[in-house]
A and B are shown apart, each in its own frame.
Chain A
Amino acid sequence: MFFSSIHKRIKLIFLVSIFLFFLIIGKVFYIQVIQYQKLHKYANDLWSRNLPIEPNRGTIYDRNGTVLANNLTTTSLVLIPNQIEDMEDTTQKLADILGVTYEEMYQHVSKKTSIERVHPEGRRLSFDVSDEIAKLKLPGVYLVKESKRNYPYDTLLSHTLGFVGIDNQGLSGLELMYNSYLTGEYGAIKYFSDAKGNKLNLNEVYEKPQDGVNMTLTIDYQIQQSLERELDNAMLKYNPDQALGIAMNPKTGEILAISSRPNFSPSHYQNYTTEEINRNLPIWATYEPGSTFKIITLSASLEEGVVDLENDHFYDSGSIQVENARIKCWKHGGHGEETFLQVVENSCNPGFVVLGQRLGKEKLFHYIDEFGFGKKTGVDLNGEGSGILFSLDKVGPVELATTAFGQGVSVTPIQQITAVSAAINGGILYQPYIVKSLNEPETNTVILEHKPTPIRKVLQEETSKKVRMALESVVTNGTGRNAFIDGYRVGGKTGTAQKAQNGGYLVGNYIVSFMGFLPADDPEIIVYVAVDHAKGITQYGGTIAAPIARNILLDSIDALSIQKREGSSEKNYQIGEKKYQTIPNVVGMNVNEALPLLKPFKVEYSGTGETISYQSPSAGERILEGETIRLLLSE
C-alpha cells in the first residue's frame, strides 16, 4: 500500500520530467526554426568581417552623353593586424615598398583594430606598387579596389562640377550638392573570423558595391568648350581681372555652358585659393550691369505702351538734367535727333532716362522685380548671389534715371541672362537649371528629372517680339554689330559698366559685357559674356565682349544644328567696313563676261580655256568682300 503511494509519486515526477523535456525541445525549436533568420543574421554579423569595396562614383554627362566626370580604378592597401603572422617582417617589407619609415608602418601593422586602412601612404597605389605588394602574399595584407575621380577635360566646367576629396566625398560644386546621389554604397568581401579576428577557413562572401547614381547635365559640351576657349583667349588677349560667360536655352532655362576665369583643375584643387575655387562667378558675382540692363527698361516700356520705337523721337544733346544731376551720354556731344529704336541701337543713356521717367519708379521697379532681380534665381548650384536693388522708398528721380540705364543696381550674370531670356522667349520667366536628370546606373531608370520650370509670365507675346526686333537691329545697325553672323539673325545688347568701389567709381576700370542670342525670330540660344577690367584696349562691350559672344554663337549654330534664316536683315555697314555679298552664278559663262560680276571678290583660276565649268563657293552663298572665289576653266 505504501509502495503504491511511492510509485504514484515517481510516475508523476516522470510525467513532469517528460513535460519539461518537451518544453526544452519546444524552446530549441523556437530558437532554431522560428528565430533562425534573425539569429542567423546577427550571428553572421558577429562572425564576419568586412573588407570594404568602394563603389564607383556616379558618372556626370553633358546633354549628349559626353563624359564630364568619371572614375579611374586604383588599389589601396588594407591590413588585418590579427592575421599578420610576422609583424617585424611585414612592417619592413611594406615600409620598403611604400617608402615610409619602419616606425610609421609599424603603427599601422600593430594597430589594435579589426581592419586598418593604410592612410594616406597606402591609398591609390600605382599598378607597380600594388603588384609588388601582391607578390609578397603576406597574410593579413590585402589590396582592395578603390576608385579615383577623373575629370577628362580637366578645368572644363570646374566651378560647376566641383571636386572630391581623398575618400571620394564631394567637397564643392555639383559633387557636393548631389553627393548623396553620386556616392553609392560600399560593398564588401566578407570573411569569417573567430572572436580574436583570425580568419576562419570558410568561404568568403562577395557583396557587390552599389555604384553611385549617374547625372546628366543640361550642359552642351561643344558650347562649353567653345566658351572655355573664348575665355582663355580673352585672358591672353586682354589680361582682365576676371571673365565669365553663360549660355542658356532661353525657352527652357537650361544652362548650356557656364564658366569663368580664374578657374581651377579639380584634380589638383589643393593648389588653388578658396576664392578661386568657390567663386562660381556667373552665379556669384554681383555688379552693376550697365547697358545690358536697358533690355529690362525697354521691355517694360514696350509692355506698358509708353513708347513707339519707330515713330517717337528724341533729341540727344549729349546729356540730360535730372534734378541736380546732369547725366551724360556715353557719346560725347550726343546722338542728336533719333527715333527710340535708334536710342536702343545707340544705347543712348539720356533716351533711356526718358523711358524710365515715362514709366515711373513704381512700374520700372515692378518689372525689375517681375524679371527676378534682387533675389536668387534658384538655379541648382550652390553659392548663388542675390544682387542689390534700391528699396522703392529710397528711389528719387536720379536713382530712377540711373536704374533705367543699368547703373546703381547690382545684379548677377545668371539673373541677367534669365531675365533677358524671358524678355525674348515670348515673355515667360523660367527658373534656370543645370541638372537634367539622375539615372540609376545599372538600369538607367530615371530617379529624378528636371523639367523646364516657368515661374511667371512677364511680357505679352507681342511685346517680346518687339524686344527681339529692337535687339536684332542693335546688332545689324547699332553698338552690337561686332556680333553679327550673316544669315542667322543675331539679336543682342552691349554693356559697359564702371566698377564701383567704396561708394565711388573706379577710373578706367570697367566690366564690359554682351548679351546675344539667335535666331532673333525664334531664339534657341542666348549667350552672356562679361570681361572685368580688360587691359590695353578701349573698354567697350561692343569691342571686347561682342566678338567673344559671336564666336560662341557661331559654334552653337553647329552644336545645336540651327537652320539658316530666310530674309535675314541686312547689316547696316559703316564706312570702310567689309560687306557680305551674294555670289552670282557664273558657271557656263565666258571669263570676260563673268569678271565684272565678280568685282567685289578676289578670283583664282585653275585649268585652261575661257569657259567657266565650276565655281567655288557656289552661287547663292554669301562671303565677305575681298574673299576668294575659285573658278575651273575649260575649253
Chain B
Amino acid sequence: MKKNMDYGLLISILLFSLFGILMIYSASHIWAEYKFHDAFKFVKNQGFFFLIGTFLMVVISKIDYKKYYDLSNKLLGVCVLLLILVLIPGIGTIRNGSRSWFGIGSFGIQPSEFTKLAFIIFTSKYLSKNEKDMNKIKKGVLPILGFTLFLFFLIMLQPDFGTGSILVMSILGLLYVGGVPFSFFLKIGIVGVVGVAGLILAAPYRLARILSFLDPWKDPLGSGFQMIQSLYAIGPGGLFGFGFGNSRQKHFYLPEPQTDFIFSIISEEFGFLGVLIVTSFFLFIVYRGFQISLKSKDLFGKYLSFGITFQLLFQAVMNLMVVTGLIPVTGVTLPFLSYGGSSLLITLCGMGILLNISRNNT
C-alpha cells in the first residue's frame, strides 16, 4: 500500500477550511464580542474542531476504507441510538428551536451529522451487496428507502429539515448511481411533492417561508427578513467587494452571519470575484471526488466515494441556492465554510475516507 493519495484534493481541503476559519472570524467577531465579550469565541471553537478534524482526516486517510464494510452496521447502530437519545430532554439540548445537540461545555455535537456519514457507508455496502436486486423495486429499493425514511423521521423529530433532506437526497443519489431505474425517481418525485404539501399542512409557517424567497419584501420583518439581509450583503458587494473584514451586514443586520449565511458575507467582502473562487473550489473538490469514484476498482469504494462527494455537493448547492434566493430558506450549512464543529469534523472525516479510496485506486 505504498501508493500516493490525491494531494491536490488534500491541499484544497486544507486551504478551503482555513479560508472558512478566516471568514468565520470576519463574520462572527462583532456578534461574538457583543454576546460573549470574546471576539474570537467562534473562531476558537471552529479552530479546535478544525485541528481535530484535520488530525482525524489524516488518520482516516491511512485506514483502509474496506474496514467500514464490516463496521457499517455498528456505526449506524450507534448513530441511531444517539439520534434517539438526543431527543430526550436533559440529554439533548435545544439550539435555534431544534433539539439536535449534545452539549459538552460550550461545544455542541450533532448526532445527525454523524448519521449522514454513517448512513452513506451503510448504503454503499447495501448497494454493493445487493447489486443484482437494485432494479427490483420491492426487493432491492424499498428496504433501504424505508430505513432512510425512518432516519429522516427521527431527524425530523428534532426537527432538522435541512439535515434530514440532505440525508434523504444523498441516499437517492446513491440509489440512482446504484442502478435504480430513472422512472422510480419520477414516482418518488411525485410522492415528495405530496409529502411537502403534507408538511406544510402540518406546520403552516413553512408555507410563508417557502413563498418568501420569491419576494422577500412582502414580509420584510418576518419570513423575508433573512433573505433581504442576505441580498443586502451580496448586492452591495459588487464585483470586488468591500474587502476582507469590511462587511457591513455582519454588524447585527444579518443574524448569525457565521452559520448558514456565511456565503453572503463572503460575497459582500470579496464580491463577484470571491464568489467565483468559492464555487470553483467546490467544483474542484466535487470533480476530484467523482474522479476517485470513477477510478475506484471495487463497488463499495465506488459507492462510498460517490456518496460522500454527492452529499457534499448537494449540501453546498442547497446552501448556495438558499443564500442567493433561488430556493426557500432551509437551515443548511455550507460545508467547510459555515460555523459548526460537528459538521466540519464529519466533513473532514468524509474527506479522509475519500483520500484513502484515492490512495487505493492508483
A32 touches B239 (CB 8 A): yes
B94 within 8 A of A: no
B275 touches A21 (CB 8 A): no
**Which of A3-11, A142-150, A235-243 makes up part of the contact surface?**
A3-11
B238 touches A32 (CB 8 A): yes
A537 within 8 A of B: no
Q: Which of A18, A31, A194, A195 meets B231, CB within 8 Å? A: A31
B290 within 8 A of A: yes
Q: B306 to chain A: which residues have CB within 8 Å?
A: 10
Name the distance in Å between B157's Cβ and chain A's nearest Cβ. 30
CB closest residue in chain A, given B303: A6
**Which of B74-82, B143-151, B188-196, B316-324 makes up part of the contact surface?**
B316-324
**Which of A34-42, A119-127, A414-422, A525-533 makes up part of the contact surface?**
A34-42
Q: B320 to chain A: which residues have CB within 8 Å?
A: 21, 24
Within 8 A of B (CB), among A79-121: none
A192 within 8 A of B: yes
CA distance A13 to B306 in the complex (A): 10
A194 touches B30 (CB 8 A): yes
Chain B window 227-269, contacts with chain A (Cβ cutoff 8 Å), 1 for yes, 0 for no = 0000110111111000000001101110000000000000100
CB closest residue in chain B, given A43: B232
Name the distance in Å between A243's Cβ and chain B's nearest Cβ. 62
Q: A573 to chain B: which residues have CB within 8 Å?
A: none
B286 within 8 A of A: yes
Number of interface residues, chain A, beta carbon within 8 A: 40
Name the distance in Å between B29's Cβ and chain A's nearest Cβ. 13
Interface hub of A7, A23, A35, A39 (most chain B Cβ within 10 A)? A39
Known: A6-B302, A14-B286. A47 touches B248 (CB 8 A): yes
A40 touches B236 (CB 8 A): yes
CA distance A46 to B225 in the complex (A): 13
Q: B279 to chain A: which residues have CB within 8 Å?
A: 21, 24-25
CA distance A38 to B231 in the complex (A): 11
Known: A13-B310, A24-B321. A29 touches B272 (CB 8 A): yes
Known: A10-B306, A24-B324. A35 touches B283 (CB 8 A): no
Known: A25-B279, A200-B248. A36 touches B317 (CB 8 A): no
Q: B30 to chain A: which residues have CB within 8 Å?
A: 194
Known: A24-B324, A39-B236, A200-B251. A32 touches B293 (CB 8 A): no
Name the distance in Å between A536's Cβ and chain B's nearest Cβ. 75
B71 within 8 A of A: no
B294 within 8 A of A: yes
A321 within 8 A of B: no
Count, A-B residue pairs, CB within 8 A: 114
B237 touches A24 (CB 8 A): no
A27 within 8 A of B: yes
B210 within 8 A of A: no
Q: A28 to chain B: which residues have CB within 8 Å?
A: 234, 267, 272, 275, 324
CA distance A567 to B282 in the complex (A): 106
A195 touches B324 (CB 8 A): no
B198 within 8 A of A: no
CB closest residue in chain A, given B317: A20
B131 within 8 A of A: yes
A43 touches B321 (CB 8 A): no
Q: Which of A10, A40, A42, A194 meets B252, CB within 8 Å? A: A194
B276 touches A14 (CB 8 A): no
Name the distance in Å between A19's Cβ and chain B's nearest Cβ. 10
Known: A24-B279, A31-B231, A32-B267. A10 touches B326 (CB 8 A): no
Known: A14-B286, A24-B317, A46-B253. A36 touches B236 (CB 8 A): yes
CA distance A42 to B275 in the complex (A): 22
CB closest residue in chain B, given A32: B272
Within 8 A of A (CB), among B283-336: 283, 286-287, 290, 293-294, 302, 306, 310, 313, 317, 320-321, 324-326
Name the distance in Å between B302's Cβ and chain A's nearest Cβ. 6
B325 touches A9 (CB 8 A): no
Q: Which of B238, B248, B287, B325 meets A14, CB within 8 Å? A: B287
Number of interface residues, chain B, beta carbon within 8 A: 43
A9 touches B251 (CB 8 A): no
CB closest residue in chain A, given B251: A194
Known: A21-B283, A194-B251. A27 touches B317 (CB 8 A): no
A17 touches B248 (CB 8 A): no
Name the distance in Å between A7's Cβ and chain B's nearest Cβ. 6
B238 touches A36 (CB 8 A): yes
Known: A24-B321, A47-B248, A194-B251. A13 touches B177 (CB 8 A): yes
Q: B252 to chain A: which residues have CB within 8 Å?
A: 194-196
Known: A9-B176, A21-B317, A35-B235. A27 touches B324 (CB 8 A): yes
Q: A35 to chain B: which residues have CB within 8 Å?
A: 231, 235
Q: B324 to chain A: which residues have CB within 8 Å?
A: 24, 27-28, 31
CA distance A13 to B324 in the complex (A): 22
Name the distance in Å between B249's Cβ and chain A's nearest Cβ. 8
A42 touches B248 (CB 8 A): no
A39 touches B231 (CB 8 A): yes
A325 within 8 A of B: no
A31 touches B276 (CB 8 A): no
B179 within 8 A of A: yes
Interface hub of A18, A193, A195 (most chain B Cβ within 10 A)? A195
Known: A10-B294, A17-B313, A32-B239. A24 touches B326 (CB 8 A): yes
B162 within 8 A of A: no
B173 within 8 A of A: yes
Chain A window 30-62, contacts with chain B (Cβ cutoff 8 Å), 1 for yes, 0 for no = 011101101110111011000000000000000
B341 within 8 A of A: no
Q: A21 to chain B: which residues have CB within 8 Å?
A: 279, 282-283, 317, 320
A27 touches B326 (CB 8 A): yes
CA distance A275 to B131 in the complex (A): 102
CB closest residue in chain A, given B302: A6
B294 touches A27 (CB 8 A): no
Known: A24-B326, A33-B272. A2 touches B131 (CB 8 A): yes
CA distance A432 to B248 in the complex (A): 59
Within 8 A of A (CB), among B104-163: 131
Q: B164 to chain A: which residues have CB within 8 Å?
A: none
CA distance A214 to B283 in the complex (A): 65
Chain A window 181-214, contacts with chain B (Cβ cutoff 8 Å), 1 for yes, 0 for no = 0000000000011111010100000000000000
Q: List 25 A-B contacts (CB under 8 A).
A: A3-B302, A6-B178, A10-B177, A10-B306, A11-B290, A11-B294, A13-B310, A14-B286, A14-B287, A17-B317, A21-B279, A21-B320, A25-B275, A28-B272, A31-B234, A31-B235, A32-B235, A40-B236, A43-B235, A43-B236, A43-B249, A193-B251, A194-B248, A194-B253, A195-B253
In order of increasing CB-CB distance, the 3 nearest A-B pairs are A39-B235, A194-B251, A195-B252
- Which residues of A are at the interface with B, using a C-beta cutoff of 8 A? 2-3, 5-7, 9-11, 13-14, 17-18, 20-21, 23-25, 27-29, 31-33, 35-36, 38-40, 42-44, 46-47, 192-196, 198, 200
Could you list 6 further interchain pairs (A-B, Cβ under 8 angstroms) beyond the known A9-B177, A32-B272? Answer: A7-B294, A13-B177, A17-B286, A32-B234, A32-B239, A32-B267
